[in-house]
Amino acid sequence: MNKIMEELNVKNPEYFINRELSLLEFNRRVLELSKDEDIPFLERLLYLCISSSNLDEFFEVRAAGVKQQINLNIPATGADNMIPEEVMTNISSTAHELVDEQYRVLHEIILPGFEEIDVHFTRRESWNEQQAKWVKEYFENQLLPVISPLGLDPAHPFPKVMNKSLNFIVSLEGKDAFGRDSGLAVVQAPRSLPRIVSFPDDIATSEHEFIFLSSIIHTHVSMMFPGMKATGCYQFRVTRNSELFVDDEEVDDLLRALKGELPQRRFGDAVRLEVADNCPQNMIEYLLKQVNLNWDDLYQVNGPVNLERLKEVYSLLNKPALRFPFFSPGKPSALKNNNFFETIRQKDILLHHPYESFTPIVKLLQQSADDPKVLAIKQTLYRTGSDSAIVKALVDAARAGKEVTVVIELRARFDEAANIGLATVLQKAGAHVVYGVVGLKTHAKMLLIIRREGQSIRRYAHLGTGNYHAGTARLYTDYGLLTSDATMTEDVHKLFLQLTGLGKILKLKKLLQSPFTLHDTMLEYIQREIDHIAEGKPARIIAKMNSLVEPQIISKLYEASQVGIKIDLIIRGVCCLRPGIKGVSENITVRSIIGRFLEHTRIFYFQNAQSHNESNEIKSSIDSSILLLSSADWMNRNFFKRVEACFPIEDKKLKKRVLDELQVHLDDNSQAWILNSEGRYELISRSASDEKIYAQKTLLKAMSKLAMN
């Protein structure tokens, strides 16, 4: 049966959802939050901006990859078996729908909402005399000195405009000083200037009155071409392939190779063209030809070609009532003792960010840097932030003479330059910096502290589902485990040996790792549930993650569903599994929770012959159940192309706590989206009499100090 199921599900597209289209559906759910009247207005603005930036990244990476497959004549590579041309057609159709909806939200919800709170974006035809004079002076003093208009002629061909830069195609009448009259020019807006400009208080007609930089350029574009007349000026923006190519087999210095590739990111192949919707067709045809795109790659928009620029307004407005209520992350009572080592020796500590503070992790490192008993610190860094207290503590520890080893993943997408800078800072301080394993990204989140205590050596470890980044710890939901368990910390030690040294695979006793044991063990645990139900024992699977893609795992889940196992999947983003198919996946439910925080925890629960109560809630008696937290999603890349760490929660109280918090997500009836068998998500329905349950609000109230304002 296993063989039949695997063949059926891997090769039949009917049972799989295309990964790229699933990712676009996630972005549709993000956009829906901008319409939710229960969300404060400025946060709704932010969701519109996020949906725009998400779509940018989708084109830079995912759509660009599909285009490369088409250009290289690569056949279908996904379990859905869709050929790249079919995928690209569906991407274009869905993305055009999303863009149209984004601009409808802008004009029908966001801009009217601004008017209601006395915030105005004044069009150039509405400027009064004082404002028009100020705009002209701003143009002459701020723009003209730094702008470089480019007239197009045989000596000045169409420029390779930078990725996502704001540009204008300008039609001109007349001849210049050299007698040239090509009739066309390109103007790139200076990157050094804000895209949204505030009118000074003395000429503003309201407390907050803004104009777009594009309006200033439109108004005075002719001043860039003395003696000529601009007859048309239209915004456009080109999105380019932003993947970096580094041949692992040929490169002998990864850092140097990445440094060489980074500048090229801005000038990869074009994948999308955005233009103002009033741009004439002949100009659009000209632009498409210059960037080597077709009409399906064109997006005509009624407004700014980059909605993310509206994000600036969020920062400019001091209106707390229009934002989410401020909260102070909680802190477990056990950590109120300032001696973290003593506390962790007594019992494992579990932190759930952002509901609970990330500060203990920073303080643990700071204590380690100052503690003369600490001999060595080892840590993986994937994304950390530019001004990181984590990095500062590691630098202090290295300067204090401790053995500091840091595994930095240079190829963390869009953070490559920052990570190169971090590597340089740490090396200068005397830390040992390595870049993981050639051909694999190091995605595990691990910290190991080695401390001399009396005549013995004790290890302390932190294992997490998310990055060591204080900023994202306020925005992403993640778990972090602090432990001094001898077996667990020995496993972490072995993982670091594999990352920094050479040798055979080291056998781990408690941790699972990619690319060696995680995938096979997940299949084994699902099979164990299947065996249990065949023996008449209860069985259940709950898994929470960012993405579910890997076909063998999906096939095994289908098999588990067919024998009657109830499977609850909480998947924030991409899900290639198709639930609710009769006879295949009717016992599987897939929900996606989209809210204030980005759901980022990876949790895998296998009942392992434990029983549940009649309401199907997770029962407290959990002695033999298996509960795992992980840095890895159930994706091909996480299982086979990355170094990942998956760790068990063994303490009964901590296990019950995680399961209780999982149940809160399963009870959410307000921000949960349910995936149907057609691959579309529908917001969960509830009756008018049902109490609203928001998982994130419930956990925020339970663990943090919430300041209602």
Sort strands 403-408 and 374-381 into parallel, antiparallel or unpaired: parallel
Q: What residue type is assigned to position 447 of the chain?
A: L
Distance from C-alpha of 603 to C-alpha of 633, rounded to nearest angstrom: 9
The CA-to-CA distance between both ends of the chain, in Å, stands at 58
Which two structure tokens, joined as six digits, stand for 446? 């691990």
Q: Which helix (H) or strand (E) holds 403?
A: strand 403-408
Q: To 10 degrees, the CA torsion angle through 168, 173, 174, 179?
A: 50
Q: Which helix (H) or strand (E) holds 366?
A: helix 359-370
Residue 156 is a catalytic residue: no
| Residue 95 one-letter amino acid | A
Check 220, 443, 462, 665 and give the catalytic one: 443
- Cβ proximity of 639 and 518 under 8 Å: yes
Rg of the chain taking only CA atoms, in angstroms: 28
Q: Quick one: how far is CA 620 from the chain centroid?
A: 33
**How many angstroms separate the Cα of 574 from the Cα of each of 6, 20, 23, 633?**
21, 8, 5, 10
Return the HEC string of 467-535: CCCCCHHHCEEEEEEEECCHHHHHHHHHHHHHHHCCCCCCCCCCCEEECCCHHHHHHHHHHHHHHHHHC
CA distance 207 to 306: 25
Q: Counting Cβ atoms within 10 Å, is residue 612 exposed (0-12), middle (13-18) or buried (19+)?
A: middle
Query: Hey, is 433 helix, strand or coil?
Result: strand
Per-residue DSSP letter, 577: B
Smallest CA-to-CA distance from 59 within 101, 103, 13, 27 is with 27
Q: 400: exposed, middle or buried (C-beta count within 10 Å: 0-12, 13-18, 19+)?
A: middle
| DSSP 8-state secondary structure symbol assigned to residue 619 | P
What count of other Cβ atoms lies within 10 Å of the Cβ of residue 458?
17
Q: Give the residue numbers marked as catalytic.
A: 443
